[in-house]
Amino acid sequence: AQSVTQPDIHITVSEGASLELRCNYSYGATPYLFWYVQSPGQGLQLLLKYFSGDTLVQGIKGFEAEFKRSQSSFNLRKPSVHWSDAAEYFCAVGPVSQFYFGTGTSLTVIP
Amino acid sequence: NAGVTQTPKFRVLKTGQSMTLLCAQDMNHEYMYWYRQDPGMGLRLIHYSVGEGTTAKGEVPDGYNVSRLKKQNFLLGLESAAPSQTSVYFCASWGTSSNEQFFGPGTRLTVL
C-alpha cells in the first residue's frame, strides 16, 4: 500500500536560515512526487514536481527537492528562508489515478 | 480559462440533510478527484474519475457518492450528512501535458 510520511509536524526557522522539510514514501515503483504549499484559508500551490530524469528539481520561490530512490525520500530545501515562506507544506506521491498526501509540515519563520 | 471551479464556497448543513458539491474544469482533463482536508490529516482522496462515466473509490469513500456524467463536471454527493463530514473539500483535475494536478479553491462544509 502507498503511504507518505512527513515526520516533522512543525518546524521553526529564523529568517535567512536554510530549510529542509522531509518526505518519505512507500510505493512499488517510482511515483509522481510533488510538494505543495498552503497558506491559511487558501488552496494548494504547486512548488515543484518529479516524475523522471534529473533527481534534483527546481521549483518556484527558490525551492528545490531531491529524489533519492534508495531512501524513498523527496526532501524539500531552500537555502535562505523568507518570512513569507511561513505556511503549511505538503508532500504528495502516487500514480495519476490515486495520489496520497502527507499530513503536512507547518513552517514558522522568526525574524 | 477558469481552471477548476467549485460550487458552493461555503455551506452549513444539519445532520441528515443532503447536498451536492459541483466541480467544473474547462481544461478537457480526463482525470478528476475529490479530496477532503481536515486539521492534521493532510488531503485524503474520497473518489476519483478517469473519464466521463467512470468513477472509483479513493481512501475515504464512505458516506459519499460521485458522478461524472459530463467530462467537465465531477459531482460529490452527501446523502445524509454527519458531523464527521465537516471538512474542507477540494476538487482537482490532472493535466496530462503538464503532469500536475490543478486544484479548485475549496468548499468549506460544516455539518451541525
Count the alpha carbons within 13 Å of A29 in the hemisphere toward its beta carbon. 7
**Would you say the C-alpha torsion B8, A89, B63, B14 has a positive or negative sign?**
negative
pLDDT tens sequence across A48-92: 999 888 999 999 999 999 999 999 999 999 999 999 999 999 999
The reply to whether A44 touches chain B by the CB within 8 Å rule is yes
**Would you say the C-alpha torsion B46, B49, B53, B54 has a positive or negative sign?**
negative
Region A23-32 average pLDDT: 87
* Average model confidence (pLDDT) across chain B: 95
Which of A4, A21, A39, A44 is the best substitution to test chain B (most B C-beta atoms within 10 A)? A44
Per-residue pLDDT at B45 exceeds 80: yes
Per-residue pLDDT at B50 exceeds 80: yes
Q: Are strands B19-25 and A32-38 parallel, antiparallel or unpaired?
A: unpaired
Closest approach of chain B CAs to the CA of A51, in angstroms? 8
The model's confidence at residue B99, banded by pLDDT at 50, 70 and 90, is confident
pLDDT tens sequence across B51-90: 999 999 999 999 999 999 999 999 999 999 999 999 999 9
Per-residue pLDDT at B109 exceeds 90: yes
For chains A and B, CB pairs below 8 A equal 46
The reported pLDDT for the residue numbered B40 is 84
Region A93-111 average pLDDT: 93
pLDDT tens sequence across B16-25: 999 999 999 9
The reported pLDDT for the residue numbered B84 is 97
Minimal Cβ distance to B101: which of A9, A51, A99: A99
The reported pLDDT for the residue numbered A85 is 97
